[in-house]
Amino acid sequence: MPTWLNISTAIIEADENQKAIITEPVILGLITLFGVIFTAYLTYLGVKAKTDRAQQDSDRARMQAMEARLDMTERRNVGLWAYCRALIDHIYKGGGAPPPDPPHTIKDLFD
């Protein structure tokens, strides 16, 4: 018999006049209950970690998409600024029609 089971025997032998409240089946039941609760908690932590990882991946993908849009917007803004500068220079130099062609970064705005 394993040593940890001798505990219940010692409890029973300590007070033979009263009936033992903690018997081997009760101890085994408590150990099983603890094991079930512990396993459920570890499963919860595993699922939570997986969910957090999926959320982080989703957030990372969203941030990359937003950075790509911001980069495209900044390039378009620089192109518009350059085209406005070219138009102003063309007007001040007394240039007539036709105006200068827009840069390639913003050509899609004029198509």
Q: DSSP 3-state assignment of 98?
A: coil
Question: For 1-35, what is each residue's pLDDT tens digit?
Answer: 555 555 555 555 555 555 656 778 888 999 999 99
This model's pTM is above 0.75: no
Question: For 40-67, what is each residue's pLDDT tens digit?
Answer: 999 998 888 888 888 888 889 999 999 9
Rounded CA-CA distance 84/102 in Å is 9
Domain residue limits, the chain = 3-109
Q: DSSP 3-state assignment of 22?
A: coil
Mean pLDDT of 75-91: 89
- Residue whose entry in the numeric block shows the structure tokens 């937003």: 66
Element (H, E) at 59: helix 24-92
Q: What residue type is 38 in one-letter code?
A: F
